[in-house]
Chains A and B, each alone.
Chain A
């Protein structure tokens, strides 16, 4: 018995040891996903294509777009994060706010991986392959451009370095600005022919890249390259690589404007050829007899907030304005004040309210018929204001006789808030309006919420949104407009004015935008109403007109932030204090006293982002930006 057990156990040991040699540790079965799997089939490769798209910065998103709230277009209640800190001048190099450097370089690497491998996919038609390659080249161009706009000259990643690349090879240098722009343009040029003219399958592909998008982006890139920030900027002369290469070209070049103008014109014509046109509101069954005043406002609001409206060239389907609309909407319906979905927490400051023209289409400080000095005084609304102001409501002079875009873009104390299910304006006293004095429903004092200046953004709120009972809020979301035709027209006007001076086409495109906004032409408005009637005749005068037109037309669309920088006017505009009304007041007379909320400052270093200090520690070849 004993011997039997002994030999049995010994046999058992032998079996166990033999049976389980090294195979035991081979736990990984075949076909575990590796990077090669991404390019074995069309469906997998499509995932990689979408991966490349996924890095698209979410413009118009409060948490993802520094240009949206990091400038001076809106102010927030204390304690909010995101880019509000940037607006308050807290940018720093230890942990730069809105640092896009890592994520976009990651995006560029993925684009390069895609471009390296897409040739391997067997079941992909050549036209589709070409389209995909072109799209990814476009994205690669866009990501470089985005970094370029933020950080100035950047290291270009034309091709991926291998993971085990030599340490000296990975310590890349920044490329000079002109080289960066040239490379971005080259990529767009390479991409354009392979892109479709229009989207054949809108249900699936709307938002994908087309030729009009590529050409419009090219226009934007070239106009950025031609703008003072990059064109002959001597401030940045000292920014040089360790090898002595200057990163900024300090010599002004008019040809940069020439090519920008050409690019704009080309983009406009391709847009026209595919039917892209300025949006004009056509009343529908619910609003057959809408007044002209509100029709113009609807044209203005819906050129942004109506998804895929006729003037959208490029809308970012990765960024949907839905949560954003909750954050900016306020309690316009007095019957429904309990909800917490509407926050009303993004408030345009007084200077933005003052930026809009008078009803005569000229700046408030220039209008002969408009009392600029008395703008903070108050008066009671008249019957003719009924589509703009609540009847018999006492409000600031500033709110009277302004251009339609003022009323379409801003909500304020006494202002009409068209929408929320009440579409019939036959009796304007039925329309919703805001009451924004202390303890009123849209006033300051609601815990966590409400305006901090006395203004709300109306433009970005779709007119058919409905606040329901409780916390319900039906939002008509829309993909964020990246480039719309009005933007392109204004770019063309700007470039052409710089390149050829005030020629006819400059006025034509400027006036197209003004007409849609319910304003007369530049010539007639300035001639008839301005205290400086000849302003539009000179190149310099027209430049200011174009710039203000642009800031008004594209207000709250993440454009002002970049425009002020590329024009190098940020040092003027962003040093103006942020003001609002005296929100703690319940009486109009006391309420309408401008109050400083914050003294914003902008220095020369703020034109570009700081490069995160730790990236420089890792790569000493990177030179830090001016002033950081």
Chain B
């Protein structure tokens, strides 16, 4: 069966297209009958002592069942990642540290009543100075956690020091501060969860990327056995990393349910989501790149300051990935990277598509372009001269990361050819000679990233083969159930894993059903994040399928009255036969029925384990047009070559690449979470946050490349985040390239019209009238 590698339409689609998905807010379950609705009361200031929270007026409003403040909560607070002293309580108690931080919650019969009641809670604040700039936070007298005494959460590596460094002795050195700005994940489905205690068990529904982690976290927090916690991830409307962590609002629901003796449901508003869901990126980079005039790069240094937001979480771990991937695709002999994470009076930072790796690529790709400009060489040519040559054996970089395999020069050449790079440069020259108002910019990036980071991982699968229940499907029908610990939220894994099982077993795709997102039905799992599910989850499915084939061979041997060793499974025919006598065969249906009669239904578990991550790579070319009079930037073309090893289903892989390309381009051109000097959010609704729409983007041009990995038998690397990682610097470089002839050296992302216009004016080369 040649189904693997072919474009198979999704099994998930019919339901989603006809009745729509059942997202957490849509769940109807008798265990949630009579639920109250939770509405959080949130801080309206960025940094303050909370002197009083008056709930009296709220309590008497219609439908209010209860009002809870931080003082009421008796749950163990959450220690900060890498700095346990930076503690967060589930509801703020005597101090708030970002606008939007929850400090009370009202429970009402209907959600509308919750909005009304939340407004009636009166909070008195004694305001404190705010810190929205991570660089200022490093040295500021203002401390978010006075008991800790510093805003520095943690440090990785040796910080850069004044004086001689690795770049001394280079003919050419460029140093620059770059900002990798904070962005919002913006899944279309906001956060939502529900909790109910039923007969001593805690039942939770949560819009999460990892139901098993939710189960374990709640079991720990509420001091109950994990077996007494049942978590369901219903259909999840996007995660992008931001739904990996549990937020306090989710963690608190079981406590509220216990307190009021009723189930509790919570659905936030988009405004709350933009205030209080973990946000992405937020790194400041000091890059230094040095080499020779002939274009050879000899040394690169990256100093990272990670803005952790108000409470250190996943965001302070991500710079470790940025550091480890700092060398990128290049054969630079000396690469050094260090990182410091610091708290600020802003929302906490977490994982967002790429999670630490886009930052590494953005830094080095911009640095390579700055170096190219300094040595007056074409940036594609500089890359050619410095890329690591093709390698099929593991290769360790100066940062200690061991890449599995890669062919970076092939990716670069393919994307340049597909883009028509030479023609683009010629068109750019023509426009410059004519002093065209619409400047053309061409940006190149090469990237390598790490999936199933930092060190591989494990995933569970079970494959069951049952005689078919649907008699209309024929007497030879079987029903295959695949249970996976992966937790898809748009990736199409039900289709991908059905393909894997169907291929291995030799059954029709339509006979396979994939089960996920229910911790009672699937005993363990690692969830879906970090582009791990095909390589880990898919490998587990394959392993379980092989296991069930072994069981089936034994049953078939009895039916065929042969020795097990003489029984072969013919995947193409979907039968079991005695080796050498294909006419004497048993079908899956016959074997499954026999196994049921024996009281041992065919079912195999597999825990796939691998201790190494994989390293997808690629190269992107972006073409932009910049109106030098208005600063407006239009992305005209985005050409992307992405190599993720062997591709299971190109339909799904291309979809993942498209989504990543859009998010990456959006960061370069439009999106930014912004605050004023007092820490007030300026982008807290979709009317203000410039989430990218179809009107801003072109159709993408994809170039395929497959360099299978040997890390797993599928040959698969991850694909979900690659698009984001390569596109941001390609688009960013394109904008800077468009204006290079006017003397603009760099513009920080996002390259908004205002920034572009200002950068052009600051060179003094164009009059303000633009004529």
A in complex with B: no
Interface residues of chain A, those whose CB is within 8 Å of chain B, are none
